Chains A and B, each alone.
Chain A
């Protein structure tokens, strides 16, 4: 037992070092902007940069739009598959995993061919069109995470019986969705939403190739031209992601119906 405990501690210690040493290195480097002393100058420079606020707000807004579109598409689809076509579940799961297999760059070049200036629907010709295209692209990127979260939520709630119980009490499909399904998969929805937000905030390929002012391209641009600010920005982005993860954990821990 004692040997086992020691072995566990060694494994955890090595893993901790692997994860945190680079982070500590980045943190240390981000504080060395002022020669000879540690300071938060790099962080101040990042926060003072107007492009930081613009790109962060842009990506945050896009994350909200992505989550809304994703949920509107995926919740009814996952619900319908479970209730009316359970045999299709494996196939739908496979389809939702495709974005993990097909590289983002392939998808975005496909979009540019389909919706470019020469196409029958030239979405990339306008900013709003490109924004819409970006949001739809992000929905595709987030599909594996959103679908899995929603499906896990539906698994835990005995969808069929609760739906039938609500029907027998006179509820219409819309009422069942709003009063029975959504409240009972709330935690799963929040998990999916936060994961989606984390993905959208750091995404580079789509935003860059569609030439949109996303947070991902801004991080890349800063990294290519500055020394200390990228380190500070990495920590900020890391803190944001961790914050979202903590929120997922907090909502997951809350009792249903409480």
Chain B
């Protein structure tokens, strides 16, 4: 049995259903991110695991113990909040010691543990300061130390980096991951930032409109998105509606172009299935293994530093984007130029017609989108 089992969680606030049939199994020491846009239900799931919200249905089991009906204080979880939630009337040491005092631990043991935690977050010199005297990054490190000081079974992080500026976010996320790894604690991390989720996690759970769209390693979620929502929310993707040419075959048709997919496509002949192609998987010249080709006209080009992004119009009037990097980025076709887009069969990822994301992303003709 997994260390954390969340089974069939559902949460309704009156007529509004915030979370639908959410299930997850996490092993000891695993770092899992719940990724999705605002209002997708990720924080509600975290709050149900923490015990702040009571599930309408479903169970939460931690280390073999069903905690669904237990109050938060009895669950032995550590929580880090977006707003830090440090006690303003207590010093850094007082904040870290709070949970230990509540647990009735002896004074000497508390002092030792607090010192250990201050060392862990590198704030040994600031133990006597009040939260208002610290920067945002320092406050969040104290909040993290306070949460792990009580040796929780699970560490829950609710968008802990959202209130920080970009540079501190990157350094602090590495610190969070380092501390989690060092302590070997199971962590559930809520974020709407795909880069954060991909960089930190063993596994990512992508959510939309209360449903789980896909669960997988960062590479799986990025390279083989299962639904149009995942394809377009995690990174940028071109979503192409293609017609099945042969039952259980790999060949499909986009307009007049015949394309080969990386895997066999299930469905009836003539049925429309959506496929995703990442902009960086497309070349403007034929390259090794690139057997798929689509004609397009360049609409405009954008210089984004490491890459140049081309907005193109495919035959049939579908917009798409192509990322050109390396030496090719020095000489990209100008707006109005006719080009051919080349990509490998394995870059053409079939998307789940029945995925919840199909509804979330709309059932239009496709197109490209992404952050």
CA distance A184 to B132 in the complex (A): 13
B47 to chain A, nearest CB (A): 9
Decide if B72 touches A158 in the complex (CB within 8 Å): no
Decide if A165 touches B89 in the complex (CB within 8 Å): no
**Among B95-103, B236-244, B312-320, B349-357, the stretch in contact with A:** B95-103
A24 within 8 A of B: no
**Among B73-81, B266-274, B301-309, the stretch in contact with A:** B73-81
CA distance A186 to B89 in the complex (A): 10
A157 to chain B, nearest CB (A): 7
The 8 A CB mask of B52-71 against A (1 = contact, 0 = none) is 10000000000000000001
Of residues 139 to 190 in A, which have CB atoms within 8 Å of B's CB atoms? 157-158, 161-162, 164-172, 175, 179-180, 183-184, 186
Decide if A165 touches B87 in the complex (CB within 8 Å): yes
> Which B residues are CB-close (under 8 A) to A183?
89
A165 touches which one: B74, B79, B91, B132 (CB < 8 A)? B79
Decide if A168 touches B78 in the complex (CB within 8 Å): yes
Known: A165-B79, A168-B79. A175 touches B147 (CB 8 A): no
Residue of A nearest to B101 (CB): A179
CA distance A172 to B74 in the complex (A): 10
CA distance A165 to B79 in the complex (A): 7
Decide if B87 touches A184 in the complex (CB within 8 Å): yes
B32 within 8 A of A: no
B311 within 8 A of A: no
> Which A residues are CB-close (under 8 A) to B77?
168
Decide if B73 touches A171 in the complex (CB within 8 Å): yes
> Which B residues are CB-close (under 8 A) to A164?
50, 52, 72, 79, 81, 85
A118 within 8 A of B: no
How many A-B contacts at CB < 8 Å in the complex?
76
> Which A residues are CB-close (under 8 A) to B10?
none
B54 to chain A, nearest CB (A): 13
Decide if B102 touches A257 in the complex (CB within 8 Å): no
CA distance A169 to B150 in the complex (A): 7
Q: Which of B52, B78, B86, B98 has the most CB of A within 10 A?
A: B98
B103 touches which one: A161, A162, A170 (CB < 8 A)? A170
A171 touches which one: B52, B76, B78, B102 (CB < 8 A)? B102
Known: A168-B147, A256-B88, A257-B89. A161 touches B83 (CB 8 A): yes
B73 touches which one: A161, A170, A255, A257 (CB < 8 A)? A170
Decide if B85 touches A162 in the complex (CB within 8 Å): yes
Residue of B nearest to A183 (CB): B89
CA distance A170 to B99 in the complex (A): 6
A169 touches which one: B71, B74, B99 (CB < 8 A)? B99
A257 touches which one: B74, B130, B143 (CB < 8 A)? B130
CA distance A180 to B102 in the complex (A): 12
A3 to chain B, nearest CB (A): 41
Decide if B98 touches A166 in the complex (CB within 8 Å): yes
Q: A interface vs B, CB < 8 Å? A: 157-158, 161-162, 164-172, 175, 179-180, 183-184, 186, 255-257
- Nearest 4 Cβ contacts at the A-B interface: A169-B99, A168-B79, A165-B85, A161-B85
11 contacts across the A-B interface (CB closer than 8 A): A166-B87, A168-B78, A169-B102, A169-B147, A170-B74, A170-B99, A171-B73, A172-B73, A184-B88, A184-B89, A186-B89
Contacts A161-B83, A168-B73, A169-B102 known; 17 new A-B pairs at CB < 8 A? A158-B83, A166-B87, A166-B102, A169-B146, A170-B74, A170-B103, A171-B73, A171-B99, A172-B73, A179-B98, A183-B89, A255-B130, A256-B89, A256-B130, A257-B90, A257-B91, A257-B130
